[in-house]
Amino acid sequence: MPKSNFPKIHIGMRIWKTFIAALICAVAGMLSGTEPFYSMIAAILCMQVNVSESIKKGTTRLIGTLIGGIFAVAVLLLIDFTPLEPFSLLYYIIISFCVVPLIYTNVLFGQDASSYITCVVFLSIVLSHFGEGNHYLFALSRMLETAFGIIVAVVVNKTIKNNK
C-alpha cells in the first residue's frame, strides 16, 4: 500500500463548534426566509479558542458593523435627498472619502481593531447591495444578521466545552 502524503491532523472542537454555529445560522436563515450569508460569516469569524475571545472578537465586529451601517445610512440619505447619482464619479469620490471618518471614528472610540469591518460593512451597503429593494432595510438587516451570528458563536462556544 502506498504511503499517503496527507498529514494526520486532528479535527478539534473549535472546528466542530464553528461548523455547528454556521449550521445554526444557515438553518435560521432558511426558516426565516433570509440569506444567512452575514450571520454565518460573523459566527465563523467570532468562533475563537474560548468564550472570552469570542466575546472580544464579537464586540469588535459588532461595533464595526454598527459604525459602518450608520455611515452607510447617512450616505443613502444623501442619495435619496440630493441629486447625487449612485455610481457616478462624484459618488465614488464621496464614498472613498468616507473611509477617513470611518476609520477616525473607530480610533476616536478606541476601537482601532474594528476599522476594517467598519469599512467592509459600509462598502457592502453602499456598493454591493444598493439597488436591491429598500436599502435602509438592507442596512438594518445587515447589522441584525451580524449580531445574530455573533450571539450564535458565543452561545455555541459557551455551551459546548472543549474536550481537553
pLDDT tens-digit series, residues 97-127:
999 999 999 999 999 999 999 999 999 889 8
Does residue 137 belong to any structural domain of this protein?
A: yes
Q: Given pLDDT bands bounded at 50, 70 and 90, which one contains residue 136?
A: confident
Does residue 6 belong to any structural domain of this protein?
A: no
Return the C-alpha cell found at 97: 472619502
Does residue 8 belong to any structural domain of this protein?
A: no
Q: Given pLDDT bands bounded at 50, 70 and 90, which one contains residue 164?
A: low
Contact of 17 with 160, CB cutoff 8 Å:
yes
Return the C-alpha cell found at 20: 455547528
Task: Kindly report, residue by residue over 39-67, the tens digit of the pLDDT.
Answer: 999 999 999 999 999 999 999 999 999 99
- Please determine, for residue 22, whether its predicted confidence score (pLDDT) is greater than 80: yes
Within 10 A of 10 (CB to CB), how many other CB atoms are there?
Answer: 6
Long-range contact pairs involving 129-134 (C-beta distance under 8 Å, separation at least 24): 130/76, 130/86, 130/87, 131/86
Could you give the CA distance from residue 150 to residue 114 in angstroms, rounded to a whole number? 14
Considering the entire predicted model, what is its pTM? 0.84
Q: How far is CA 23 from the centre of its chain?
A: 16
Does residue 96 belong to any structural domain of this protein?
A: yes
Does residue 42 belong to any structural domain of this protein?
A: yes
Length of the chain: 164
Does residue 144 belong to any structural domain of this protein?
A: yes
Does residue 68 belong to any structural domain of this protein?
A: yes
Q: CA nearest 100: which of 71, 135, 73?
A: 71
Domain that holds residue 62: 13-159
**How many domains would you assign to the chain?**
1
Does residue 136 belong to any structural domain of this protein?
A: yes
